[in-house]
Structure 1
Amino acid sequence: MEMRRLGLNGPSVSAIGLGCMGMSEFYGHSDRTTALATIAAAIEAGVTMFDTADFYGMGHNETLLAEGLRGKRDRAFIQVKFGAQRGPDGAFLGIDARPGAVKTALAYSLRRLGSDHVDLYQTCLDPAVPVEDTIGAIGDLVRQGYVRHVGITNVDAATLRRAHAAHPITALQFEYGLMSRDIESEVLPTCRELGIGVTAYGVLGRGLLTGSSGSGVGDYRSIVFPRFREANRAHNGGLADALQRVAQSNRITVAQAAIGWVASQGDDIVPLVGARTPERLTEALAAPLHLQPETLFAIEEAVPQAAVRGSREMSAHS
């Protein structure tokens, strides 16, 4: 497994990380035994980066990951997102990133993870709380030894600068892939100026590029993501077909082409793959991490950003 440094002065992690969200909810049924086998296969293959959040399955994902990593915690770099609030029915209620809430959330995460520390603790932006206050609270936890590195998710360049001034940010988590490239205009250059690494989710367009309909029992993609609405999905499916042809000509799969494209954008970027079976994980880990310029060009021609229909953001409307 190739390794990459997370940020200018950050830790060395596997060049591809395992995103665990889908093992608990949102993308339909996931088998617990298969999920645990996937985590085990990731460790065996040399994956060190594992991405979770306290609100994935409302704690379920952390306990699942803890079970999968039992006896192997020292071989894993666990990054945890916090802040999203949910009701008993699973509905999202907003963000709470007040300093007291930060420390309480971490206490519960540590218990669920069965660990005395989190490697990277990532805040969601709370519009009611200055980002400096939230980052300062995580900085306190770093000094106390409960957190190793500070992270942040889905913020603009100005907010990222404010956060980094409050405490050095090791990594930003942001949606980045062929279908979602808005990070490139301001946020990614700011990360590189400040020496902040990037962990990229949504690399496969949440499954659009690999033919997922985003529907079925327990799968919310076709409900909450405009790109999965029927008309948009049909159009975007044409882009996936074009990518399929490019992938075939390069003797790789569509998933490998999409992962390889992101990985090739810089050694400061770690793609997160949401594999839920050992087979899909094996496919993802075989993605080329340094595609040739002509291949990158052909991939971008197949899936031009301007041709993608529907917002990447969650929405109740088309």
Structure 2
Amino acid sequence: MVLKIGYVREHFATPLLQYYAEQPKDNAGKPTIFELDETGDGTGKLIKNLKAGEIDIAVQAHVVDSGLTESLIKGIVDGSKEGSEAYKIVGLYVTSPLRWAVITGNAGGKPKYKDISELDAIAKSSEGKIRVGISRPGSGSQNMAYVLAHNRGWHADKLEWIENGKVDPLMASVNAPKGDANATDIFMWEWITTRAAARPEGATRHDNLKVHFVDEVLTPWPSWLIVASTKTIAGTASADAVKAFLEGLNKHIRAFSLDKTLDGPNFEFLKKNFSTHTDEDLQASPGSATDVREWLGKVSYPESCLDVPSDLIQKTLKGLEDAKALQLPSGGYPDSMFLGSFEEFVTRT
């Protein structure tokens, strides 16, 4: 069985992309272990694809997918409430936190807000709301806005959600004039993939910048999980295929982690695949070799992607509840709800 793996093309996907390129091929040159299904819409779209049965795994979402921890865990909670559990956690992908930028507009070289304190004033006022751009409901861009609000002491009901899809429309929304239906005050996205628009290489004038960063938020949990559709892990043959995929992915994660030298093949792979900035595809480009060096120095992957920390699920649930992104029932949710029938395969550490 050839699995279909959903993912977002970001620098975090490097071990997955290297595994894809190096896997065995059949006589026709087609992959024998997995195919890739790329989305530019983030984890929210990966969850949607999993629910629709379009992918098997998400490493950023599909029948087996890898995606943002907070979004995938909240997605399981939401699915349980709806009576539909589309996927379960089968592994850990990135152990380091994700650095989220809080981004506003810079139309005409004038930042919409110079500092996050200006948004504090809106949140504390009796009138008005902070219009927050998100890629789609349930996405990391929405869940981390809840975390931002919690950190800043804002009430969640002061946030107004504006769904704008991919990163380019989100950047356009913070620069749109007041009164525009898609106009927003801020949106949140991964720091390095959007920094080129805030500090492009060689920019000499402030009005060359598309957006302005007013703050940053780190996820209070490991940033990426791997999930698989419940249908895929329910079948003996397909579950075995998932296990084989994870074991192969783990080998490439370890090989990547062992070579972070600035003249090695991993650095060259990142420069080649992720450092060419284009206006049309910021999502796919950290912006420069400088960004690649910075990212390599901070990212960390697990010793084994099959090891899921024993406190990860409950810590994430508590953080989401504190941020008012979800409400836990009395007694909370058991870990088995998230790991399900695949629990015996996932090592708890």
Q: What is the TM-score of this pair, normalised by structure 2?
A: 0.29
Higher relative contact order (CA 8 A, sep 6+): 2
TM-score computed with the length of structure 1 as normaliser: 0.31
